[in-house]
Amino acid sequence: MITASAVNELRQATGAGMMDCKKALQETNGDMEQAIDFLRKKGAKVSANRADRDAAEGAVIAIASNDKKTGVVIRLNCETDFVAKNEDFIKFANDIAQVALISKPASIEALKELTLDGKTISEKLLDYIGKIGEKIDVTVYDFVEGNLIINYIHAGNKIGVLVAMSSTGDKIEEAGKDVAMQIAAMSPVALDKNDVSQSIIDREIEIGKAQAAAEGKPEAMLEKIALGKLNKFYKDSTLLNQDFVKDSSKTISQMLNDIEKGLTVTKFKRIQLGA
């Protein structure tokens, strides 16, 4: 049975109509991600920012080392907004990130075994759970190394970004900050089109074919149309090919090259609540 709350969740996530959402859920046995794809294939309006829906509470922390060669991003989740905004909770998240920055553990599990104020982070998490009565856990941890790391936290610790620039200098750092804000706002799926996973490419081609078929395009044209849509996906969804938000006459790649010939982003990480 498809519940009204599930229909509303899909509607909030996609912007599609109520009846379209209900049908999509019925056709996909209530699977939310498959329902989103179903709507896209049928050409229904779907929000590009659907990953932001139903955000779990907590804080994302992104920090860089003093020499700006290493950056760490973590996500510390909790159950309520009240706890997420608490100064002690934010400090705890920052303390965990600092430990990670120093030790650069290989995984979340390894991070939790590191020591903070005389206890392992796992033990500190249990203490915090006992103190506030909510589930608290580190759900994401990653780090980036490079010539110059820019860290950026957006929207009250809801999004954290790390950007590795190929060169150093004050102008490069300023450009890196612009890129970090672009990443936070536009949520690219990859650095460049060659970095997009095959599974995402296959998914976009399948959806492109289904959209073209729904528009009545001839069978022989579906592949070509889908590849055209894929190129637009690369333009919209890969960082270096996106239009620069501050100057849409340039792509990110062109903006960086104007600052210093050959300047580019070598890696980035974007972590948000609820994704």
pLDDT of residue 137: 92
What pTM, to 2 d.p., does this model score? 0.77
Q: Which domains does the chain have, with CATH numbers?
A: 1-53 (1.10.8.10), 57-166+266-272 (3.30.479.20)
What tens digit of pLDDT does each residue of 29-56 get? 999 889 888 887 876 555 444 434 333 7
Distance set, CA 175 to CA 28, 148, 171 (Å): 44, 11, 6
The residue-averaged pLDDT of 237-248 equals: 96
- Cβ–Cβ under 8 Å, residues 246 and 254: no
- How many other C-beta atoms can be found within 10 angstroms of the C-beta atom of residue 217? 15
Under DSSP, the state recorded for 220 is G
The residue-averaged pLDDT of 135-146 equals: 94
* DSSP notation for 38-70: HHHHTT----TTGGGTTPPEEEEEEEE-TTSSE
What are the residues whose beta carbons fall under 8 Å from the beta carbon of 29, sequence distance 6 or more?
none
* DSSP notation for 150-187: EEEEETTTTEEEEEEESS-SHHHHHHHHHHHHHHHHH-
Provide the mean pLDDT of the chain. Answer: 91
Element (H, E) at 268: strand 265-272
